[in-house]
Amino acid sequence: MTLPSEKLITLNDRGARIATTFGSVTSGGANMVLIKKLTASSSATLSFVDGASSVVLDNTYKEYMFTFKDIHPSHGSAVDFTFQASADTGSSYGVTSTSTWFTAYHLENSSDAAIEYNGASDNAQSTNFEILCDNLGNLDDACAGGFLHLFNPSSTTFVKHFMSTTQYMGNDPNSLNPRKGGYFNTTSAIDAIQFKMATGNIATGDICLYGIL
């Protein structure tokens, strides 16, 4: 059975075939190209600004995807893993955004589990950093993984939509699987993205940026 092209793109976006590939990935009409990889080492921020010959977010692609692997905080207690955008090539990060967030969670001891909306983890016309992982645990084996899609950031006509899915070990400890969606409310081109912990550094982890044709 042949799946519609939209489904094929979704399957590729979820990264089933990119774990050992650092070039182009092509299957069923979807093409993902690795643009840049950043590895944290007690890093205050990881910023995607410059590529090999130009800015990493330009009109080459109309969709970009960031993937996260083993993101671990250095802070002594649970902390939020966040991101924000720049419209001035990384000189500042604080583009006004509006977003929504809901999450599924399950405690390790099975004492509680639910799916819920979390209004404390979204933005409403705010320049605050957007939360990708709320209350990421700081135990030695705690980490986060996931992906973030950014749509047509170089447009000077429309707002810039984004959506993310992350999976991580929370502080309780528990398994958390949130979904976030929103938009940067600007018609200026978005040309850089920065990731950081709300408090402390990113101790370890990889973030990769792909362009999607």
Strand 160-169 relative to strand 144-151, pairing: antiparallel
Note the pLDDT of residue 52. 59
Residue 67 placed within a domain: yes
Q: What is the per-residue pLDDT for 45?
A: 97
- Encode 2-37: b = buried (16+ Cβ within 10 Å), e = exposed: eeeeeeebeebbebeebeeeeeebeeeebbbebbbe
Peptide bond into 73 cis (omega under 30): no
**Tokens 């059975």 belong to residue:** 1
pLDDT reported for residue 22: 39
CA-closest candidate to residue 155, choices 180, 128, 184, 130: 184
Hey, is 10 helix, strand or coil? Answer: helix
Whether residue 121 lies inside any domain: the answer is yes
- Asked whether 130 and 123 are in contact (CB, 8 A), the reply is yes
Question: What pLDDT is attached to residue 20?
Answer: 34
Range of the domain at 69: 32-212
Domain count of the chain?
1
Tens-level pLDDT at each residue, the chain (213 residues): 444 444 333 334 444 343 333 345 554 455 899 999 999 999 999 999 986 556 799 999 999 999 999 999 998 889 999 999 999 999 999 999 999 999 999 999 999 999 999 999 999 999 999 999 999 999 999 999 999 999 999 999 999 999 999 999 999 999 999 999 999 999 999 999 999 999 999 999 999 999 998
In-domain check, residue 9: no
CA-nearest of 47, 132, 128, 39 to 89 is 47
Q: How many CB atoms lie within 10 A of CB 113?
A: 11
Residue 7 forms part of a structural domain: no
Q: Kindly state whether residue 4 falls inside one of the protein's structural domains.
A: no
How are strands ordered across the β-sheet holding 192-197?
A: 46-48, 192-197, 79-86, 130-136
Residue 186 lies inside a defined structural domain of this protein: yes
b/e map 48-67, b = 16+ CB within 10 Å = bbeeeeebbbeeebebbbbb
Indicate whether 107 belongs to any domain. Answer: yes
DSSP state of 20: T
Q: What is the pTM of this model?
A: 0.85
pLDDT of res. 31: 87
In a domain, 1, yes or no: no
